[in-house]
Amino acid sequence: MTPEGYVEYKRREFCKDIQCAVQLELNRQIEGSAAYEQIRKKCSHACLYTTWQFHHWLIEKGYLILKPS
C-alpha cells in the first residue's frame, strides 16, 4: 500500500530512464512473446547494472524505500 501523497516505483522505470540496451530491445518486442521472454532473462540473470547504481538512481529521483512497521 502506497502512503497518501506518494507514488510507487513503476516496473522497469530505472531501465527505461537510463535507456538500458536490454530494455530498448524489450521495447521492440511484444510483451509475453517468446522473444520477449528470452530477452527478459538477461535482466534477471545478467543485469548490466549494479544494485548500487539502481539505489543511487532512486535517491537522485527522490524515491524513498519504505517498510511497514
The DSSP line for 1-23 is: -PPTT--PPPTTHHHHHTT-HHH
68 lies in a domain? no
Residue 1 predicted with pLDDT over 80:
no
pLDDT tens digits for range 28-53: 999 999 999 999 998 889 999 999 99
Name the helix (H) or strand (E) containing 43.
helix 34-46
**N-term to C-term CA, the chain:** 13
Quote the number of domains for the chain: 1
41 lies in a domain? yes
Confidence (pLDDT) at 47: 92
Whether the CB-CB separation of 5 and 25 falls below 8 Å is answered with no
Containing domain of residue 19, as a range? 13-60
Residues counted in the chain? 69
pTM for this prediction:
0.81
Q: Which residue matches cell numbers 531501465?
A: 15
